[in-house]
Chains A and B, each alone.
Chain A
Amino acid sequence: MAEQQEGALTGYRVLDLADKKGGYCTKLLADLGADVIKVESPEGDPGRRIPPFAGDVPHMEKSLHFLYRHANKRGITLNLEDPAGKTIFKKLVKKADVLVETYSPGYMASLGLDYEALKKINPGIIMASITEFGQTGPYKDWKGSAIVDYAMSNTMITSGFQDGAPINLPGLASYDAASLIAAIQVVLSLYLRGSKGHGQYIDVSVHECSRIGLYPWMLPMYSYNINPGSPPPPPEGRLGAAIYPVYPCKDGMIRIVALTPRQWDALVKVLDEPEVLKLPQWREFYYRIGNAADLYALMIEFTMKYTMLELFERGHNEGVPVVPIYDVGGFVNSPQTKARKFFVDMDHPVVGKFKYPAPPYKWTGTFCGMRRPAPCLGQHNEEIYCGELGFSKYDLVALRRAGVA
């Protein structure tokens, strides 16, 4: 791990009051070198209780969710509902550049810690609030969750087989979409602050962001299809199997996406030119979508003759995109993943050594990567309380005892 290497955002400090809605936002900033301090209640972030756990034993330091989304951050405990805690938080805000929080609308204001109050302490502070539906509006107090947000995003209705129930996305993609859109605004605000000096308040609705992060084309496709004569497919059908077909092969499954006639011709070559695939109508993308079941029945005879890697490589050579369908293990062990060193060594004081998925990009001018594992609960209390805020070790013990830290 490369704690000292400079990143593009090194020098900025971010206070993280973010649960699973915003953990990925502050992780993005931390990966780029920002000093992100996760501020947890003394009982710990609820994300520490999300299964599964390392070794399958529930433990505050072993949640895979927490280990994944809070790596590269430091962590302190602080009770924001305690008057002394509030005072300490304000001191932290004074020295911070960014605050990301995910409490329900109105909660920060109820503590006297809303943007209006905090910008009086630090006019340059950039505060982003990520909530399920937004700070205002008829649904502002509604509840969300990964599956509910995905359903409302207008993309879940397209998931799965045509006759089955729509299927939830694995992971927390709606939250990640909101986190990404929050991070864009935070970094833009830092950039603008450089010339203008002032901070900013950013209001992020998971509900609004999820459809844009997942598939912003749904509404335009609908809007374009309202006119008669527009091309199929109607956007709300569950067409994954038809548009991005999956076929069995000798040792697993592959996915083929031939969009253009040229790519279809290449695919026919990949499969050694079966006559039955040479009918001219198969060259048309929309014809293939409309007759996906027939095509599937024809195709499997030919795809079954090859292995995943054979088809992957033959597709590349002929000019049609084919990929193996990997499970996570297949991905982790693929030669590309290894060549790019996507998984890096992490050493966590409780979990021990393990491999961790790095950020999805490599930077040449500054370091972007893993600097430290997710913090243990209160791991950096001494560094921050004693090293920066002027408390003694005895003060810290007293704050701990009083339920403040």
Chain B
Amino acid sequence: MPNTPLEGIRVLSFSQGAVIPDFGKILGEFGADVIKIESKEGMDFMRTIGADPNNIAGFNESNRSTRSFGVNLKKEEGREIVRKLIKMTDIIGENFRGDVMKSHDLDYENVCRIKPDIIYVSSQGFGRGGPYSDYQAYGPMLAAASGLLALWAHPTDPYPVGANVPLPDHMASKQAVVAALAALDYRRRTGKGQFIDMSQVEMAAGLIGEACLDYTINGRVQKPVGNRSPYAAPYGCYRCKGNDEWCAVSVFTSDEWEKFCKAIGNPPWTKDHKFADVVSRLRNVDELDKLIGEWTIQHGPREVMNVLQSAGVAAGVCQRPADILDDLQLKWLNAFVEVDHPVSGKRMYPAIPFRMSEVKLPPSRPAPLLGQHTAEICRELLKMSDGEIEQLKGQGALEIAAAKAK
């Protein structure tokens, strides 16, 4: 009986950026042997956005619990080694640009000849089979091309900018995991593998499915509403005491409105007929928001949150990472994990939020250094001798990380 949920399952990850790295990380945290195929020339671009490719926060988060196999896919010797690995692989995840996998003869059709029951998940910006199928795009661009970004703005903004958040990347990665696991279960029952062709722009559009239907059914192109809700008030993000401090508040029902008024001390304006019911509040929402802002600005965001939540009203601080570390609920849930990385040292990462009664997850492992596990994988899985490994390294087919101290 396996000790970890995916023990014995091997994943090859041809990945860059966020989507397939995060996909590999999740499977790795479940105990699969996830091998990231990379090389100095074909480096994950996330390794290139800082001075040291082994010391990038985003990379080291999204590639935790995986191994790095340094191999040059432009060399036939390199591709031959990868083909050998594929024979002992269950799942391939790839989000290389456009036709890169095909150029290495590692597309689904070719892989299928080596490993007929392979589960092959390909995640591209625009998906396959259309005029833009090989166009490169990062998450925030797919939010832009899907219609999501256009709705992510205050009505008064000159143009939409969204956030630092590369939506839909980390949602797409999870959707890809759902797919791979469903395909794995299907293979368990039938012996059959398959190819899954995912489009991240469609993933982004799926996050605003209601707005899509508003267009296809009602012919309406929705406009951004910022922090307002068309059917609840107060609903917004209010400035609090302090430097750039905010607290979000939402009130849907009459009962919640009464609790809200009581919690803020029942000031006389709350009795005004202008705010008596949701329709009146929505009609006078500018004035309502101003009055609420006059209350919130006198209190710190955590105080606003605690006062309102104690009264049964939904409210939440616009948290920063430092706030997150002090978040009592996340502390309770042990939602952080400290991982010691050979270059970056001990750093905090979000723990995998999987709470299953019958599953114990293995401890999280640090993201690999570039080529850190090449030799070990050659020896363990491919049964290669040190001489063979050295020879392939000399030919430039294999890349092996130099031992690196902290």
Contact = CB atoms under 8 A, between A and B. Distances in A.
30 contacts: A142-B309, A151-B247, A157-B246, A159-B163, A170-B152, A171-B207, A177-B174, A185-B356, A195-B2, A208-B329, A214-B171, A223-B347, A223-B349, A235-B321, A246-B161, A259-B49, A321-B138, A324-B145, A326-B145, A326-B146, A328-B150, A336-B127, A340-B128, A340-B199, A343-B216, A357-B206, A360-B175, A361-B176, A363-B194, A363-B197
Contact of A187 (B62, B185, B236): B185
A246 B144 CA distance: 9
Contacts of B178: 28, 32, 180, 183-184, 187
A272 interface: no
Give the interface centre of A136, A161, A199, A240 by most chain B CB atoms within 10 Å: A240
A138 B309 CA distance: 11
A238 B2 CA distance: 45
Contacts of B137: 257, 321, 323
B329 A138 contact: yes
Interface in A1-35: 8-9, 11, 28, 32
A255 interface: yes
Interface centre among A55, A205, A212, A244 (most CB of B within 10 A): A244
B98 to A, nearest CB: 9
Interface stretch (B33-41, B224-232, B389-397): B224-232
Nearest to B179: A361
Contacts of A157: 244, 246, 318-320
Contacts of A360: 127, 172, 175, 198-200, 202-203, 205-206
B327 A152 contact: yes
Interface in B161-217: 161-167, 170-172, 174-179, 181-186, 188-189, 192-203, 205-217
Contacts of A240: 140, 161-164
B356 A201 contact: yes
B250 A217 contact: no
Interface stretch (A64-72, A76-84, A394-402): A64-72
Main secondary structure of the interface of A (DSSP, over half): mixed
Contacts of A405: none
Contacts of B211: 170-171, 328
Contacts of B348: 219-220, 222-223
B135 interface: yes
Contact of B145 (A150, A180, A325): A325
Nearest to B184: A191
Interface in A195-231: 195-196, 198-205, 207-209, 211-225, 231
Which 3 A-B residue pairings sit nearest by Cβ, starting from the closest? A365-B194, A339-B130, A222-B321
A137 B328 CA distance: 8
A90 interface: no
A290 interface: no
A361 B150 CA distance: 23
Contact of A180 (B141, B171, B226): B171
A392 interface: no
B188 to A, nearest CB: 5
A160 B157 contact: yes
A31 to B, nearest CB: 10
Nearest to A136: B332
A164 B224 CA distance: 15
A243 B58 CA distance: 15
Contact of B355 (A151, A172, A204): A204
B132 A361 contact: no
Contact of A165 (B108, B135, B239): B239
A304 interface: no
A208 B199 CA distance: 26
B2 to A, nearest CB: 8
A326 B144 contact: yes
Contacts of A255: 140-141, 144, 149
Contacts of B50: 231
Interface stretch (A36-44, A273-281, A348-356, A376-384): A348-356
Nearest to A244: B140
